[in-house]
Amino acid sequence: MPAYRTDRWFPLWNGTILVLACFTMVAPMIHLLAVSLSDPVYANAKLVGLWPKGFSLVAYKEILSLDRLWRSFGISVYLCAMGTLIFLAFTTSFSYALSRPNMPMRKWVLQGVLVTLVFTSPLIPNYMLVRSLGLENTLWALMIPGALSAFSVIIMKTFFQGISSELFDAAKIDGSGECSVYAKIALPLSAPVIATLSLFHVVGLWNSYFGAIIYIRNKDLYPLQVVLRSLIVENGAATAVDVAGGAAEIAVPATPEQLKAGIILVATVPILFVYPFIQKHFVKGAMLGSLKE
């Protein structure tokens, strides 16, 4: 086939394939939205496709009445905000120290970081450590253990090493110490990488489920995903009322399928809105930290 024909048809086929791939990812969300907005009769009969049948907001009225669901929603937001701040404080400061050639025992510390990247600690020692530190049954157990990861440290350290050393030297000539150089030069220049790593960490905290099951005993401290699991897996309208703290005798007009669809959307849509705010930094940050030497 001549080269000019290849250049002409490739963008068309490439775009078509990408559109179809995007549709397969978006279609389940559209279906859930259609089910949650349909009349309970059609939803219960599983007659809803990608468009609502018999518009109804009864599912979202029931979801708004689930007090414990909204409490868990607030807990997840708190985990994402506070956990990401702790993650950034630990990761950026530790990575900056590793990027400085005059750090004492730098090579030994870096080798220790690489070991944790290959070998992870088992579940039981992790639990015993969290318990011995008094973090069990607290939200700190979901934020502190994952506040420092070898992957993020290596990406951040590599980026700091790529910053021109002349900037650091000029700042030190002006009388700035390491802390001042870190806060006024290193951090502002690393905004793309910070945004990228923050997105990864926020998504991980928002979807955190297993850690809460292991470390949290107080149901009032359950994050959103744990409550979401109880609503979906147990599969019943009475379960939804029980999770909300209501009486089991209360009749729920929305079908279980509608409640599931609406709650999944409530749990998924907020994290989708995080990406547009850091989109301009995402691609750049994902490449910078991994390519610079």
Q: What DSSP letter does each residue of 7-54 carry, written as one string?
A: HHHHHHHHHHHHHHHHHHHHHHHHHHHHHHHS-HHHHHTT---SS-SS
CB-based burial of residue 246 (10 Å sphere; 0-12 exposed, 13-18 middle, 19+ buried)?
middle
Going by the DSSP 8-state scheme, the letter that residue 78 receives in this structure is: H
**CB-based contact 83:205 (threshold 8 Å):** yes
Instruction: Kindly report the length of the chain.
Output: 293
Structure confidence at residue 140 (pLDDT): 92
CA-nearest of 247, 271, 274, 244 to 259 is 244
- Going from the C-alpha of 108 to that of each of 112, 149, 293, the distances in angstroms are 6, 17, 19
Structure confidence at residue 146 (pLDDT): 85
Residue 260 has, within 13 A of its CA and on its CB side, a CA count of: 17
Question: Which distant-in-sequence residues (6+ apart) come within 8 Å of 145 by Cβ?
Answer: 126, 129, 130, 211
First to last CA, the chain: 41
How many other β-carbons are positioned within 10 Å of the β-carbon of residue 101? 8
The domain locations on the chain are 1-56, 67-217+274-291
Structure confidence at residue 253 (pLDDT): 65
Q: How far apart are CA 206 and CA 228, in angstroms?
A: 12
CA-nearest of 220, 223, 254 to 239 is 254
Q: How far apart are CA 14 and CA 139, in angstroms?
A: 46
Structure confidence at residue 243 (pLDDT): 43
Q: Residue for token digits 């414990």?
A: 68
Task: Give the chain's residues under pLDDT 50.
Answer: 1, 235-252, 289-293
Structure confidence at residue 281 (pLDDT): 60
Domain boundaries 67-217+274-291, CATH class = mainly alpha
Question: Which distant-in-sequence residues (6+ apart) come within 8 Å of 246 by Cβ?
Answer: 65
- In this predicted model, what pLDDT tens digit does every residue of 92-142 receive, in sequence order? 999 998 888 888 888 898 888 888 888 877 888 888 988 898 888 899 999
CA-nearest of 102, 110, 96 to 183 is 96
Query: What is the helix (H) or strand (E) element at residue 120, kind and residue range?
Result: none
Question: Each residue of 198-219: b (16+ CB within 10 Å) or e?
Answer: bbbbbebbbebeebbeebbeee
Give the three-class secondary structure for 292.
Answer: coil
